[in-house]
Homo-oligomer: A and B are copies of this chain.
Amino acid sequence: MATETTADFHVFDTTLRDGAQREGVSYSVADKLAVARLLDEIGVGFIEGGWPGALPKDTEFFARARTELQLRHAQLVAFGATRKAGVAVAEDPQVQALLDAQTPVVCLVAKSDVRHVREALRTTLEENLAMVADTVAYLVGHGRRVFLDCEHFFDGHAADPDYGVQVLQTAFAAGAEVGVLCDTNGGMLPMGVGRVVADVRARTTGKLGIHCQDDTGCAVANTLAAVEAGVTHVQGTANGYGERAGNADTFALIGNLVTKMGLPVVPAECLPELKRVSHAIAELANIAPDDHQPFVGASAFAHKAGLHASAIKVRPQLYNHLDPEVVGNDMRILVTEMAGRASIELKGRELGVDLAGQADAIGRVVDQVKVLEADGWSFEAADASFELLLRAELPGAPQPLFELESYRTSVEHWGNGVVVSEATVKVHVDGERIISTGEGNGPVNALDNALRQALVGRYPQLAGVSLADYKVRILGWKGGTSATTRVLVDSTDGAGEWTTVGVHDNIVEASWHALVDAMTYAVRHR
C-alpha cells in the first residue's frame, strides 16, 4: 500500500530489472526477494521485479512474490515489451506472461526513436504506435496500472522531435498512467534534459517520468533536472547498478529529492534506512560497497581532521552538507598525520571508548600515533588497530592473547612446478607452549592458518573469524635496498568486518602485526 507521499510522486526502483544488466551481477530468486524487501524498507513506491516470460528466473520471482513478499510501501511491477509487430495482443505469449505475473502495475517498454523502430524493430512507425495502443489498452482492460518506458526517447527527440510525443499521446489515450522518457544511451546533460522535458510537457497532458543512465556521469543530476522541469516519476537502481556506467542511484535520488529539493518522496521514517539498505543490497549483489558513494558510503562523511578538528567538533554542520544521521550514516574522523588531542577525543567518542579524565592517556596516544605514522603506519582505514592502541593506554588494559616465541613461513616452487606455502608458529598461551603448522596459498595465509590453529583451543570464537580482504602498499621504496610495507587486513565473523594494520620492512612481519591485531580484536571486542 503506497503512502500519500509516494502516490503523488513515484520513486520507481528497477534494481531487479534494469540494474541486473550490470556486468557480473546474477541474483538468485531468493536474492531478488530479499532485495525487494530491502527496497520496500526505504519507502520506494514501485519495485520493478523483472521480465516474466522472457527470463525464467523472473517468472519464478513473481510466482513466489505472491506468497512470500509482503510489501508495506511499494507496489510490485512486472516489465515487458509491447506486443510483437503483426501479432494480436491477446495472442502474444509475452503479454500473457505479464498478466500471469499478477502484479498491480506493468511497465511496458516501447520504441520511441524512429531509427530504432525501423532498424532494430524493423516495422513501420504506424505499426509501432498500434503496438503501444493495443498493449496498453489490453493490460488496462485487465485491471493493470500501466507505465510506458519510452526507450531512446532523448536520442529520438533529437532525430525527430514529434514521434516520441506521438508515442506518449498514444499511450496516454489508451490508458497509460505514466510515460517515462528514457535516456537509454545515457549521453544527456542536465540542461538538455530540462529543455526536452519542458518541450514534451508543453505538448502532452499525462504524467511524465524519467529514466537516466550514467554515461556522462550525470544520471542523478539529469533526473533532478527532469523533476525541476516537471516530471513526477523517477527511476533509479540501488547504488546505481546497471549496464555500462550504470543507472541513476536510487539512494542519491531520494537523498537529494528529500533533503535538497524538499520533496517528501519517501515516508520520513524510511530515510535513516538508506545506508543500511545500500550496504545490504551490495552484499546480496556480491559487489564491494563503494566507500565514496554519496550519502551512504562509509567515507561519505569522513574528514581528515588535522588542524580543523576543534572547529569540526564545535560546529560539524559547517563541514557537512547534511547531518549524516538523516540518512543513517555517521561522521567519521580519520586519524592522520596531523592528529591532535581533539581528533583522538572525537575518534574515541565515535568508537564508544570513554576518555573522560584520561588526559594523560590521550597524550600518550597522540605521541604514539605521531611516531607510528612517521614510520608509515596509517590508522585512518584501520579502526580496530586504533581502538586496540587506544585501549592499551587506559587503566586495566588487558594482557596480549599470547606471547610469540618464533614463527617461520616459506614458499617453495618445486621441480614439478607445484608451489606450496607452509608456516610454523611457536607461541605461549596462558603459560602453555604451543607449536602449530599451517598451509596456505601464500606465506601470510599459511601463517594465518597456523596462528589461528594455535589459539583456537583457548579462544574458540576464532574458529568463526576469517580474512575478508588483504591490501598491501609499499611505501618509500629506496632503490631496492629497503622499503616499508603497509598491510591492511579486513576480517569478518559473518556479522561484521573490522580492519587492522601492520607496517614493517618485511611484508610478512607487517602482515603478522595486522593478523595478531585482527585476532585480538575478535576476541576482545566482537
Contacts and interface: CB of A to CB of B under 8 A. Distances in A.
A249 B441 CA distance: 38
Contacts of A471: 474
A484 to B, nearest CB: 10
Interface stretch (A268-276, A315-323, A393-401): A315-323
Interface in A175-219: 185-187, 189-191, 214-218
A386 interface: no
Interface stretch (A91-99, A285-293, A363-371): A285-293
A217 B278 CA distance: 15
Interface stretch (A4-12, A42-50, A66-74, A462-470): A462-470
Contacts of A320: 185
A522 to B, nearest CB: 13
Contacts of A508: 411, 419, 421, 442-443
A24 B472 CA distance: 11
Interface in A498-526: 504-509, 512
A128 interface: no
A142 interface: no
Contacts of A470: 474, 477, 483
B467 A477 contact: yes
Which residue, A244, A246, A286, A294, has most C-beta atoms of chain B within 10 A?
A244
Contacts of A220: 216-218, 221
Contact of A222 (B221, B240, B299, B448): B221
A474 B472 contact: yes
A444 B292 contact: no
Given A187-B321, A260-B187, A413 B407 contact: yes
A52 interface: no
Contacts of A120: 308, 311, 318
Interface in A214-244: 214-218, 220-222, 224-225, 228, 240, 243-244
A314 interface: yes
Interface in A304-351: 304, 308, 311, 314-315, 318-322, 334-335
Contacts of A441: 482-483, 505-506
B292 A224 contact: no
Contact of A185 (B191, B319, B485): B319
Contact of A293 (B245, B255, B308, B322): B245
Contacts of A302: 23, 243-244
Contacts of A322: 187, 215
A378 interface: yes
Interface string A436-473: 00000111110010000000000000000011111111
B480 A225 contact: no
Given A411-B508, A467-B480, A215 B442 contact: no
A224 B189 contact: yes
Interface string A249-293: 100100110001100000000000000000000000010000111
A507 B311 CA distance: 44
A246 B294 CA distance: 9
A412 B406 contact: yes
Contacts of A318: 113, 115-116, 119-120, 152, 155
A496 interface: no
A297 interface: yes
Contacts of A481: 466
Interface string A394-437: 00000000001111111111110001010000000000000000
B473 A469 contact: no
A392 interface: no
A160 interface: no
A190 B444 CA distance: 49
A307 to B, nearest CB: 9
B246 A292 contact: yes
Contacts of A292: 22, 214, 240, 244-246
A335 B409 contact: no
A28 interface: yes
12 contacts: A28-B477, A119-B311, A119-B318, A120-B311, A191-B228, A216-B260, A286-B473, A410-B410, A411-B508, A421-B508, A442-B485, A470-B483
Given A28-B476, A469-B474, 15 more contacts: A26-B378, A115-B315, A119-B318, A187-B260, A187-B322, A190-B190, A216-B220, A216-B321, A244-B302, A244-B303, A407-B412, A410-B411, A442-B507, A466-B481, A470-B477
The 3 lowest CB-CB distance pairs between A and B, nearest first, are A187-B321, A221-B221, A410-B410
